[in-house]
Amino acid sequence: MGSALRFGLVGGANTLVTGVLLSLLSLLIAPGIAYTIVFALGVAFSTFFAGRFVYRVTMARSQVVQYVALYLAVYVVGLVALAFAVDQGMSPAYSGLVVLVTAPLTFLGGLVIVRRAEPRRVVQQQEGMMS
């Protein structure tokens, strides 16, 4: 199974669960607070599975920091999108649709972060074989 398929499985599960959870929590608490809670859970889930399962690499600390920073930036974008949608009259029950904005951003950003380090890792592995 390729990394793209694994990314789709992990990302799809994360998107589905966080979207549904966000919609449900938004019926009980303010959508912005619900979004913050759900997004934090999604970041933890995604960071854990991105390296280990999706790309089958151990992410370096710098990659984990970049990954979390990416998610924080996407969080702000999502919060703005959510506030805009609510201001336009969207029902809190549909707040989970914000993942239509955030999911593509996290997919592309995560791919860049993990893939950018791969050539260095391959070079290090090749150097290790030659010694």
Q: Are 22 and 32 in contact (CB under 8 A)?
A: no
**In the predicted structure, residue 32 carries a pLDDT above the cut 50:** yes
Q: Which of 61, 54, 72 is nearest to 115 (CA)?
A: 54
For the chain, what percent of residues have pLDDT higher than 70? 88
Quote the longest CA-to-CA distance of the chain.
64
Phi and psi at residue 91, in whole multiples of 5°?
Answer: -70, 140
pTM exceeding the 0.85 threshold for the entire prediction: no
Distance CA 119, CA 131 (A): 19
Q: Poorest-confidence range of 20-29, 48-57, 80-89?
A: 48-57
